[in-house]
Homo-oligomer: A and B are copies of this chain.
Amino acid sequence: MNDHLFMIVMRTKDEEKQEALFEATVKVVNEIGFASSSVSKIAKEARVSPATLYTYHKSKKDLLISTYLNVKRQLSDTVMEGIDETLPIRDNFRQIWFNLFQFTVKYPDYFQFSEQFSNSPYNDRSLQNDIDQKFMPIAKLIRRGIERKVIKNLEVDLISAFVFYPVIILANPRLCRNFDPTDEQIDQSFQLAWDAIKL
């Protein structure tokens, strides 16, 4: 920061506003939808002037993309928590599966935002590659499981689709109603996922 003279007398940007804009973006998109979410509505929700928003983000596109990346970063941090290569493959899968389940239940708004964004044209190939990088440990785990003949020898994407996508459905009350799962049901659900991919 102090490398450049012109930065010395810079007034600091408000961290709270950054956070408020993030939360507001997710909230507004969830409440009125991606299509109806305007910069001014998001700014109002964050109790900030639309012009101020432009000191934090150079465009609406930039706001949405950085919100998406933020959601995905939090997701990957949460999901990868507790991975331990010394434990059996199945235990690691179970850990990831429960982390993912809890995240989706705790932050359903993040998920709905994420779904809306990823199905929009903002989500281009290079952005998706950046995100895939974050989830690399899971891909590695799958490959390790295949090598050790613990899980079926199939494409990594295929294994992922069968193990992790159903979680998203289950945790989404909009897609899966009448389903307020008990601990036992969550456990049974993981067993389904594991049965699908185990050798």
Contacts and interface: CB of A to CB of B under 8 A. Distances in A.
Interface residues of A, number: 41
Contact of A166 (B116, B121, B162, B176): B162
A91 interface: no
Q: How many copies does the complex hold?
A: 2
A137 interface: no
A120 B115 CA distance: 10
Interface in A71-125: 112, 115-116, 119-123
A161 B169 contact: yes
Contacts of A174: 123, 128
Interface stretch (A6-14, A47-55, A189-197): A189-197
A136 interface: no
Contacts of A32: 121
A5 interface: no
Interface stretch (A19-27, A140-148, A151-159): A151-159
Interface of A: 31-37, 112, 115-116, 119-123, 128, 152, 154-155, 157-158, 161-162, 165-166, 169-170, 174-179, 185, 188-189, 192-193, 195-197
